[in-house]
Amino acid sequence: MIVRLLPLMLLSGLRLSRALDAALPFLPDLFGGRPTARTVHFITATLLVLFVLVHVVMVLVSGVFNNLRSMITGRYAIDKEDTPS
């Protein structure tokens, strides 16, 4: 998802710049016009923000300190109560 959204956001953002029309002549034809590029840019920005928010919420729900410790030390603590017998 990120691999597709970031280049699309970059190209649509470059398309919004009037100064780059002469330097990059393929940009004006890429999205069909500034309103379309603006819409694509807005949608991709919204999707990227939602992507980050969902991942932050997932870290918060699964345990912040345990996740931070596992990133630093490589050890993930599992409670014996949570494991099936």
**DSSP letter string, 19-85:** THHHHSTTHHHHHSSHHHHHHHHHHHHHHHHHHHHHHHHHHHHH-HHHHHHHHHHS-----TTTS--
Which residue ranges in the chain fall short of pLDDT 70?
Answer: 82-85
Q: What is the pLDDT of residues 37-57, one digit of tens each?
A: 999 999 999 999 999 999 999
82 with 63: CB under 8 angstroms? no
* pLDDT over 90 percentage in the chain: 39
> Of all helices (H) and strands (E), which one includes residue 1?
none
Q: Residue 85: what pLDDT?
A: 58
20: Cβ–Cβ under 8 A, 6 or more apart, which residues? 14, 27
Q: Residue 64: what pLDDT?
A: 87
